[in-house]
Structure 1
Amino acid sequence: MSNKLYPPAGRKKRRLKRAVLFVLVFFLLIMAGGAAGAYYVWQSAVKPADEISEEKVAVSIPLGSSLSFISQKLEESGIVKNATLFKYYVKYIGEGNFQAGEYMLSPSMTPKEIIAALKEGKVMGLADGKVSIPEGYQLTQIAEVIAAATDHDPQDVLKSINDDAFVKKMIAAYPAVVTEAVLNENIRYPLEGYLYPATYEVPHGEQSVEELAEEMIAKTDEVVKSYTDQIKASGMKIHEFLTIASLVEEEATGKTDRKKIASVFFNRMKIDMPLQTDPTVLYAKGAHQDRVLYKDLEVNSPYNTYKVKGLTPGPIGNSGRDSMEAVLEPAQTDYLYFLASSAGDVYYSKTLDEHNALKRKYITNNQ
């Protein structure tokens, strides 16, 4: 006979009740904690990054920027606390359709104020008699910046810069850099990619559109000439050099290794593979949109690198020194593909299968 003692039935029931109550309270606490956490996250999403900040930050939003890219750019500039939170807040309230441009934003702005500013799409003319041309800007955007600084209509500015007489004047003034290659009939804007991204003095009422544009072209001439020996050694012509530098610039984000991007383009050209870079499709369409759709890849244009092999007829925007140097000293890789995740991280791969697997992991599953 066993000597084991059994507790009375009533005591067993009380213990069972306490256990059930404990489990219930535990789950209620988890739910309450989740609700509190969600509330905290929401409050973080709707508040400024720094309510007392008086800082003003210039933020450049290139043509064709996705919501993920814009959110990441705002976080890197200190305008929002968290890129992912801002992105989902924008989606939650049903906003979007942000405009490319140069903005002056502050960490003290609420997300709603930031969204309103980005929807307005006004370019920024600096108050102290200067204008800033960001890297990656295209001629239409530069025309808007010049127009704002000189009190002209953007279309009139664009017309002046594209004027045949002005273009030929620039070829004559800067023959080592601005060559007759810019006169190719397939080129949309002859001087696209030749107006250097920098900050320029603009004495109010004392400088014409042509004078300011020429100052930017002269700066390009100066910068490109500093790479003369390297460009010759590469076997590229200057127009080709500026064209591929513009492709690297347009693909670049804050986290992008430009030298790896350049290596992908060179690797593709070596095997006669189309460059298939989305910014060229957007340039071909002349449109701003968050992402390129499959139907967009069918646009009939010499700038569409999904349909036409090799480089575009000319640059699709301006490029800075980082992208130029990446083209002259690309990384030595076997990569043929790359993609950027919603967080702005860039992933490289050697085969289409690897690329598609990365796309499913970082793009498809996050949409």
Structure 2
Amino acid sequence: MSNSNEKPRNALYEERVSQAKIVRKIVFFCVIGLFIIGTIVLISSYFYISNALGPVNEENPQEIEVTIPIGSTANQIGTILEDEGLIRSGTLFRYYVRYQNESGFQAGDYSLSTGMTMDQLIAELKDGRVVQDPELVFTVPEGRWLVDVAEIIASETGHSHEEVMDVLTDREYIEGLIDQYSMLTDDILNEQIRYPLEGYLFPARYDFMVEKPSIEEVVEAMLDRTQVVVDTLATDLEDSEYTIHEIMTLASIIEREAQTSEDRYLISGVLYNRLDRGMMLQVDPTVSYALNEHRYMTTYADLDIDSPYNTYRYEGIPIGPIASPGEDSIQAALRPEKTNYLYFYARFNGEVIYNETYEKHNETHQMYRNEWVEGQAGEEE
């Protein structure tokens, strides 16, 4: 009886051993297969990148005349070089420039060769000769509302303010821009947002080779500059818990509140601390924007306005930016200074005082609140 029972057991054991061997072989060959595929992909990628970084035609190089316009971004330069047949990929050029942290490209006329590597082309593009002086130069300061930026564009280009605003609020045009710029998302199409492009028109000096560029040319030149800044902060954005639209909104608040670089990062830290604790941000510039009036100082009555921009009434980050932030403010919004501060008070003279408790903050407020009243009265005289 016992012998007959052992045979089935032995057979079952051997069958399981056999199956285990088969499974191990399958796993082994799968691992080998994946390793081989991975190796092929890595080798292929290496040769592709090496080839793309190398000369387009080293054996029979051809000299090509190229003009790089004033204000060209790395993306635009890459497109020009690719169109002229000097590099294989404008996209790779842009990423390579970012990876190498290259900058300082000069506008000008160049005689470039298809026998040059990408590194050689980059070096050459840093030593250009300006083709001609720009016909139009103007500067947009940091922290301006979109309507104020539109006024600057209008006064400098000869277009009317109404024409500029028509372009800046044209939904079809804006939807096209969303397809063109990765930083622009459908968030800006929210019907409660006052102006979709608020906060995205970069404050800087702009040079144009024509006396009266089109409104679209100006707008896209400004968006190009913002996209360049956003691209340089790509790693920070990937690590952030907030969307690009939320970061631009925080940056706009920081820009309106801070006067120094140090304060931008400290104020950013306060905003993050309040958000982490579920506290309202309670920043005055959002109230002014909600009121659609440039207020020197806000009153208690102002704080009651029912608007998604009003951070005294609604928790979290407002629905959208309230001004055009500069690069330092955008960076500060992504790299807040780590402190225990929950409150800050900006004095009339520009000094910002930080506190960890409401009691201390209230003492500071009571101590310096008359500065703003007296300062406003003095400027009105």
Count of residues in correspondence between the two structures: 240
For 1:297 and 1:270, locate their aligned partners in 2 and report how far apart those are by CA, in whole Å: 23
- Preserved CA contact (<8 Å) 1:255 1:345: no
CA contact (8 A) 1:160 1:210 kept: yes
2:302 to 288, 296, 305: 296
8 Å CA contact 1:243, 1:311 repeated in 2? yes
1:351 to 354, 357, 374: 357
Which residue of structure 2 aligns with residue 151 of structure 1? Answer: 158
Deviation, 1:341, is 1.6
**What residue number does 2:286 align with?**
280
Q: Over residues 192-229 of structure 1, what are the superposed CA-to-partner deviations in whole Å (9 max), with x where a residue is unaligned?
A: 11111111113454411111101101111111011011
Give the C-alpha shift of residue 363 in structure 1.
Answer: 2.1
Give the SS at the match of 1:201: strand
Deviation at 1:150, TM superposition (A): 1.5
User: C-alpha deviations, 1:21-62, integer Å up to 9, x for none?
Assistant: xxxxxxxxxxxxxxxxxxxxxxxxxxxxxxxxxxxxxxxxxx
User: How far apart are residue 234 of structure 1 and its match?
Assistant: 1.4
Q: Cα 1:296–1:205, aligned 2, differ >3 Å: closer, same or farther?
A: same
Map 1:10-29; keep pairs closer than 5 Å.
Answer: none
TM-score normalised per structure 2 = 0.61
Does the alignment pair 1:161 with 2:180?
no
2: CA distance between counterparts of 1:332 and 1:278?
A: 23
Deviation of the 1:155 alpha carbon: 2.4
In the TM superposition, what is the alpha-carbon distance from 1:289 to its structure 2 partner?
A: 2.2
Instruction: Pick from 172, 180, 189 the counterpart of residue 173 of structure 1.
Output: 180
Structure 2 residue 216 is the aligned partner of structure 1 residue 223: no
Cα 1:365/1:223, change in 2 over 3 Å: closer
Contact 1:139 1:158 in 2 (8 A): no
Could you say which residue in structure 2 is the equivalent of 1:115?
A: none
**Alignment correspondent of 2:13:** none
CA–CA separation in structure 2 for the residues paired with 1:303 and 1:155? 24
Residues 287-312 of structure 1 show CA distances to partners (whole Å, capped at 9, x for unaligned) of 02211011110111110000011111
In 1: Cα distance, 2:341 partner to 2:193 partner: 29
Cα distance in structure 1, aligned partners of 2:176 and 2:361: 46
Write the letter of the residue equivalent to 1:293: T
Shift in Å at residue 346 of structure 1?
0.7
State the 1:167 CA deviation.
0.3
Q: Give 1:165 deviation, angstroms.
A: 1.5
Which residue of the partner structure matches residue 194 of structure 1? 200
2:261 aligned with 1:250: no
Asked if structure 2 preserves the Cα contact closer than 8 Å seen for 1:258 and 1:323, the reply is yes
5 Å matches for 1:257-268?
257-268=263-274
The question of whether the paired residues in 2 share the 8 Å contact of 1:160 and 1:209 is answered with: yes
Range with bigger deviation, 136-145 or 250-259: 250-259
**Following TM superposition, by how much is the alpha carbon of 1:259 offset from its aligned partner in structure 2, in angstroms?**
0.8
For 1:338, what is the secondary structure of its paired residue? strand
TM superposition score normalised by structure 1: 0.63
The DSSP-based 3-state class of the residue aligned with 1:272 is: coil
Percent identity, please.
40
Deviation at 1:156, TM superposition (A): 2.1
Asked if the contact 2:347/2:371 (under 8 Å) is kept, the reply is: no
Query: For structure 1, which runs of at least 5 residues remain unmatched after alignment?
Result: 1-126
Alpha-carbon distance change, 150 to 241 in structure 1, aligned in 2, over 3 angstroms: same
SS, match of residue 294 in structure 1 = coil
Name the CA distance, whole Å, in 1 between partners of 2:240 and 2:265. Answer: 15
| Alpha-carbon distance in structure 2 between the residues aligned to 1:164 and 1:325 | 29
Alignment of 1:1-367 (within 5 A): 129-174=136-181, 176-254=182-260, 257-364=263-370, 367=374
Distance 1:206 1:145 in 2: 13
**Counterpart Cα distance in 2 of 1:186 and 1:341:** 32
Q: Contact 1:231–1:237 (CA<8 Å) still a contact in 2?
A: yes
Q: Does the Cα contact within 8 Å between 2:188 and 2:197 map onto a contact in 1?
A: yes
AA paired with 1:332? Answer: K
Instruction: Give the 3 Å change call, closer, same or farther, for CA 152–214 of structure 1 in structure 2.
Output: same
Residues 149-202 of structure 1, C-alpha deviations (whole Å, 9 max, x = no match): 12122122112111011101111111x211111111211100111111111113
